[in-house]
Amino acid sequence: MNLFNIPSNELLQHLINGLTLGAIYSLIALGYTMVYGILKFINFAHGEILMIGTYAGYYLFNILCNPADGGIRVMLAFILSMIFAMFVSAFFGVTIERIAYRPLRKAPRLAPLLSAIGVSIILMNLAALFFGTKSKKFDYPFNNSTIMIGGASITPNQIMILIVGLILMISLKLFIDKSRLGKAMRATSQNQSVASLMGINVNFIISLTFAIGSALAAVAGILIAMEFKVYPTIGQMAGLKAFIAAVVGGIGNISGAMLGGIVLGLLETFGVVILGIPQGLKDTIAFSVLIIILLVKPSGILIKNIKEKV
């Protein structure tokens, strides 16, 4: 079958490329959208929190073992490093909220946004200063040999990103929908003062939200770093694309993050291939999608149009 004059196995490869790229965006978007959903706040520094956790995981991983050795020890070291990364990111997320966002809770929405931008710039540059600007290789704790599916290749890590993304999405939804804390979070997202009156410790809920969102970012970061290496600016484009993914899917909506990520990944990959434009313009596609969605359906794909001025 030849679609657009592209043979089917090449098309399948593009599809897989787009899906795996989309899965990466989805994973990062989860934490982003969660914070937005509860607090109606775009945490511009989400990408940098991801980056810090990734570095933490990287350093611990390489201290605990020699990745080239392989085996159980490496796998254990990896899991420990992942958990450590989650804690580090959560710590940073909660601390940043305390110092840079909480004082601005009553301020108009632009103030915390500018503050978040400032935090993002500070963290990225400090990371460059402390860790150096050269990329570092995050070795796979397992054998990442290519698997062939119908003439196209995919790697275990890419499959893992998809699966982890799905698991996290489902877990997150269950947590928010079914658990008591989740209920408190939903209450807080509706109306902070009323929630507080109902006995909910709003500060705690907000910190918890940031902690969870940041921990999710760390998980995303490490999985991505294995594909793309560790470097101080990991968070920049990742954060922006994740934001686009979240908006496309419906910001604040957990399933929307997954959907939006996949859609964005596919659009970037196929947009370039089908339009026959240079790959260098893929970011233009992504940002154009953002602007178009904001114009046409700002609430995103999954959310019904609310009568709120967006």
Partner 1 sequence: MKKLMVFLFSLMLLFTIGCGKEGEMIKSGDTVKIAFMGPMTGDAANYGKLMSQAVKIAVDEFNATGGVNGFKVQLIIEDDEGKVEKGDPAIEKLAGVDKVFGLVGAVFSSVSLQVAPKAEAAKIVMISPSSTHKDLPSKGAFIFRDVMSDALQAVVFGKYLATVEKIKNVAILYVKNEYSQGLAKDFKTQFEKEGGKVIAEETALQGDKDFKTQLTKIKGTNPEALYIPNYVAEIAQILEQAKQLGLKVKIYSADGFSNPQIFDLAGDLANGVIFTQAAQQPASKTRTDFEAKYQSRWSDKPDAFSLNAYDGARIILNAIKAVAQKSGDSLLINRDKMREIVAKTKDFDGASGKITFATDRDLISNIGIYTVEKKKYKQIKMFQLDGEKLIEIK
Partner 2 sequence: MLNFILLIFIYIGIFGIAAIGLNLIVGYTGMLSLCQAAFLGIGAYSTAILMTTANINFWMAFIISGLIAALCGILIGIPTLRLRGDYLAIATLGFGEIVKNIIINWDNMTKGPMGINGIPGLKLLNFTFTSLDKLPWTLIIWIFVAIAYYIVRRIVRSRIGRALEAIREDEIAASSMGINTAKYKIGAFTLGAFFAGLAGSLFAAYNQSVAPNTFDFMMSITILCMIVLGGLGNNAATIVGAILIVVSSELPRLLGISNIIPPQLNQVLFGFILVFMMIYRPQGIIGRIKLNYAKIIKEEILHLEK
Please report, as ranges, the residues that interact with partner 2 according to CB under 8 A: 42, 100, 103-104, 107-115, 117-123, 125-126, 128-129, 240, 243-244, 278, 280-281, 283-284, 287-288, 290-291, 294-295, 298, 309-310
Instruction: Determine the Cα–Cα distance for residues 17 and 139; give it in Å rounded to an integer.
Output: 21
Instruction: Determine the Cα–Cα distance for residues 46 and 265; give it in Å rounded to an integer.
Output: 19
Q: Which CB, 161 or 185, lies closer to partner 1?
A: 161
Handedness of CA 53, 56, 62, 65 (dihedral sign): negative
Q: Please report how close the Cβ of residue 297 comes to partner 2 at its closest, in angstroms.
A: 12
* DSSP classification of residue 109: T
Q: Please report how close the Cβ of residue 245 comes to partner 1 at its closest, in angstroms.
A: 15
Q: Which CB, 83 or 121, lies closer to partner 2?
A: 121
With 0-12 / 13-18 / 19 or more C-beta atoms within 10 angstroms meaning exposed / middle / buried, residue 53 is: buried
Q: Which CB, 66 or 179, lies closer to partner 1?
A: 66
**Using CB distances below 5 to 8 A depending on partner kind, what does residue 148 bind out of partner 2, partner 1, none?**
partner 1
Q: Which helix (H) or strand (E) holds 152?
A: strand 152-154
Q: Please report how close the Cβ of residue 64 comes to partner 1 at its closest, in angstroms.
A: 19
Q: What angle do CA 182, 188, 191 make, to 5 degrees?
A: 145
Q: Which CB, 39 or 226, lies closer to partner 2?
A: 39
**Using CB distances below 5 to 8 A depending on partner kind, what does residue 146 bind out of partner 2, partner 1, none?**
partner 1
**Using CB distances below 5 to 8 A depending on partner kind, what does residue 114 bind out of partner 2, partner 1, none?**
partner 2
Q: Please report how close the Cβ of residue 253 comes to partner 2 at its closest, in angstroms.
A: 16
Are 64 and 71 in contact by the 8 Å Cβ rule? The answer is no
Instruction: Determine the Cα–Cα distance for residues 40 and 188; give it in Å rounded to an integer.
Output: 11
Are 246 and 217 in contact by the 8 Å Cβ rule? The answer is no
Instruction: Determine the Cα–Cα distance for residues 307 and 310; give it in Å rounded to an integer.
Output: 9
Instruction: Determine the Cα–Cα distance for residues 213 and 75; give it in Å rounded to an integer.
Output: 25
Kindly list the residues in this chain that would bind partner 1 in the complex (CB under 8 A): 6-7, 10, 13-14, 17, 21, 133-137, 146, 148, 153, 155, 227-229, 233, 237, 269, 272-273, 278-280, 282-283
**Using CB distances below 5 to 8 A depending on partner kind, what does residue 13 bind out of partner 1, partner 2, none?**
partner 1
Are 181 and 39 in contact by the 8 Å Cβ rule? The answer is no
Amino acid at 133: T
Hey, what's the torsion of the CAs at 50, 52, 56, 59, to 10 degrees? 110
Q: Please report how close the Cβ of residue 214 comes to partner 2 at its closest, in angstroms.
A: 18
SS3 label, residue 222? helix
Q: Please report how close the Cβ of residue 132 comes to partner 1 at its closest, in angstroms.
A: 9
**Using CB distances below 5 to 8 A depending on partner kind, what does residue 72 bind out of partner 1, partner 2, none?**
none
**Using CB distances below 5 to 8 A depending on partner kind, what does residue 104 bind out of partner 2, partner 1, none?**
partner 2
Residue 230: what are its φ and ψ, rounded to 5°? Answer: -105, 130
Q: Which CB, 222 or 244, lies closer to partner 2?
A: 244
**Using CB distances below 5 to 8 A depending on partner kind, what does residue 10 bind out of partner 1, partner 2, none?**
partner 1
Q: Please report how close the Cβ of residue 174 comes to partner 2 at its closest, in angstroms.
A: 29
Q: Please report how close the Cβ of residue 188 comes to partner 1 at its closest, in angstroms.
A: 37
